[in-house]
């Protein structure tokens, strides 16, 4: 099971009942953060999520409402006993921004691995030292992270993250292929092994593929045709809905954001299972008032709010 928690659902500036953009994903005791707007630390405490086990931070772009919470969060992570490296991913320019932000604080007790303008298919593995980038393409692709370039007023990227599932161990297959028992565990983990002059492959002990889970995170952009392909078959599509009213389309175009119905059209064209709308304008006091503008295009829509938690389970 994977848990997605909306920490901040606002855009522009924090409001009394709405922190700025931030999403937390909990996976097997580890955490992945998407954006880190002002208020993220408080939001983490409100949902009783610790700081120490955040291994990956994905930044969509460097506007303040998506990144100004980062210096304080990194400092608190250090004060919480974090010593393992932290991966920070972001668009062009993220390295300089991170350097400038970190220069405002005392030295951190952990290394920052900054990945600027990441390419597709970055693989992470859940290890005893947290979520770490795979060193070899032959490693089991446990978590696959992809990015897409968006259309905003500054370099901006969207993310998709796919949590794969290992194939089940097939005892009959292992016996039929005469695989020694001492190799079963390593083969099940995706390793190929030469043993007593014979090559043993994972396929010799594993059953059929199983469905994984895909979560996509798109914010601060105009709708682009390529987004539908990028989010295709997402179990959860988290998308900005800065403007609920369709009459605000001129503002959306001018500020390079989206309306509810534009986000819903992406969800429909992307064949996703659920759309979660977030990143609401400060003028959008009651997003539920405009929910039907999205539901008339795509039925399974949820309006995000700070603290909203959703559990995603694998399907057979």
The contacts of residue 311 (CB under 8 Å, 6+ apart) are: 1, 2, 3
The contacts of residue 52 (CB under 8 Å, 6+ apart) are: 77, 80, 81, 82
Q: So which residues are the catalytic ones?
A: 65
Residue 115 · residue 88 · CB < 8 Å: yes
Residue 277 · residue 294 · CB < 8 Å: yes
Q: Compute CA distances 209 → 45, 85, 150, 295, whole Å.
A: 38, 32, 32, 34
Residue 20 · residue 10 · CB < 8 Å: yes
Place of tokens 């991913």: 89
The contacts of residue 145 (CB under 8 Å, 6+ apart) are: 56, 58, 89, 118, 121, 122, 123, 124, 159, 160, 161, 162
């Amino acid at each position: 099971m994977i848990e997605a928690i909306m920490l901040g659902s606002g855009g522009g500036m924090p409001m009394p009942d709405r922190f700025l953009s931030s999403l937390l994903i909990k996976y097997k005791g580890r955490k992945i953060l998407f954006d880190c707007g002002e208020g993220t630390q408080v939001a983490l405490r409100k949902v009783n999520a610790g700081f120490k086990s955040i291994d990956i931070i994905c930044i969509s772009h460097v506007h303040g409402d998506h990144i100004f919470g980062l210096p304080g969060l990194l400092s608190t992570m250090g004060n919480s006993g974090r010593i393992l490296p932290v991966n920070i991913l972001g668009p062009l320019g993220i390295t300089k921004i991170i350097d400038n932000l970190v220069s405002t604080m005392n030295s951190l007790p952990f290394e920052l691995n900054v990945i600027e303008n990441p390419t597709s298919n970055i693989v992470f593995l859940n290890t005893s030292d947290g979520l770490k980038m795979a060193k070899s393409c032959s490693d089991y692709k446990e978590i696959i992270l992809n990015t897409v370039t968006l259309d905003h007023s500054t370099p901006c990227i969207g993310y998709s993250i796919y949590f794969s599932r290992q194939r089940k161990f097939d005892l009959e297959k292992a016996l039929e292929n005469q695989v020694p028992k001492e190799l079963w565990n390593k083969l099940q983990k995706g390793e190929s092994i030469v043993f007593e002059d014979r090559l043993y492959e994972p396929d010799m002990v594993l059953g059929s593929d199983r469905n994984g889970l895909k979560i996509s995170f798109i914010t601060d952009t105009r709708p682009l045709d390529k987004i539908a392909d990028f989010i295709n078959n997402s179990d959860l599509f988290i998308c900005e809905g800065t403007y609920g009213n369709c009459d605000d389309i001129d503002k959306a175009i001018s500020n390079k954001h989206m309306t509810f119905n534009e986000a819903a059209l992406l969800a429909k064209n992307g064949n996703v299972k659920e759309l979660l709308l977030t990143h609401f304008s400060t003028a959008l006091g009651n997003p539920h008032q405009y929910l039907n503008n999205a539901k008339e295009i795509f039925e399974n829509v949820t309006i995000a709010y700070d603290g909203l938690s959703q559990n995603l389970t694998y399907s057979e």
